[in-house]
Amino acid sequence: MSPPPERTIAAPTRSPHPPTEFVPPPGACDAHCHVFGPAHRFPFSADRTYTPPDSGIDDFERLQDRLGLSRAVFVQASCHGTDNAAMVDALQQGDGRYAGVAMIDESFTDRDIAALHEVGVRGTRFNFVAHLGGAPDLDVFWRLVGRVQPFDWHIVLHFDAKDLPGYDDLLDRMPCPYVIDHMARVPVTDGVDQPPFQALLELMADERAWVKISGAERLTADGSAPYDDVVPYARALIAEAPDRILWGTDWPHPNVRHMPDDGDLIDLLAAYAPDEETRNRILVTNPETLYDFD
């Protein structure tokens, strides 16, 4: 057996604190998280831009127990490329409690896509972020969007904030629901009136548009808790479209400046949505609508 690859990013906090601000409701969902490896079973992509530590389904289920969550959406990360095997294994172990977002390319046949759908994949993701390789070939992008439409998948889009206003035409052409990752990675030091965030708010008037109020540890000015400077952005998005908001931990937090405690991230949801009804919509009803949990 070959030795494991040397990791280039930090491991997640292995013992986060349980929630202190509220009790998650039954069916609460972490709608943006990843599984990495274990590398001896699920090797990383040869052209990856980072090498994470093993953070597999067993580690994740310990996190779920700690946080009081019962559902999850595993999003395929760029370090595994289009080899979705680690994610598929996690979905199969979930017995209907987990859904997935795959990364595919034109080598995938209709049968391959159907097999992903069968295990719980309900969307495909495209990175437009510069440090992860930049925008995809748009001709290929549109062909893949067309390929997944017979399966009623949605499209997950990972943008750099500064680029978002330049994709108005692309978003106008979307034939299906689409999800913007991590509040479009807006720099909170630029204020809620900054053009990229205003563009995001305007998008939310479109019934196809969803957004994840995740990534506070990425957006906050200094990278560390309590992330108070992110709260106005999440609240503005919730006010705009409460029925199309998702929340997730982004565990195991690849490429962050300071590794968060996932207990702090779930507690932050109480600041984003102080009333229980709205939190329950974000944690339960909205993910049920988009991900078709059993």
Residues carrying an active site annotation = 250
In sequence order, what E strands does the chain have? 29-33, 71-75, 98-102, 121-127, 154-158, 178-180, 209-212, 245-246
How far apart are alpha carbons 143 and 55 in whole angstroms?
33
Contacts of 112 (CB under 8 A, 6+ apart): 104
Residues in the chain: 294
Alpha-carbon torsion (68, 270, 290, 172), positive or negative: negative
3-class DSSP state for residue 73? strand
Nearest to 86 by CA among 44, 29, 142, 23: 44
Block residue for tokens 């490329």: 81
Distance CA 163, CA 200 (A): 11
- DSSP classification of residue 168: H
Q: Please give the Cα distance from 181 to 152 (Å, whole number).
A: 19
Environment class of residue 201 by beta-carbon count within 10 Å: exposed (0-12), middle (13-18) or buried (19+)? Answer: middle
**CA–CA separation, 221 and 202 (whole Å):** 24
Degrees, nearest 5: CA angle 121-263-73: 5
Is the separation of the CB atoms in 121 and 153 below 8 Å? yes
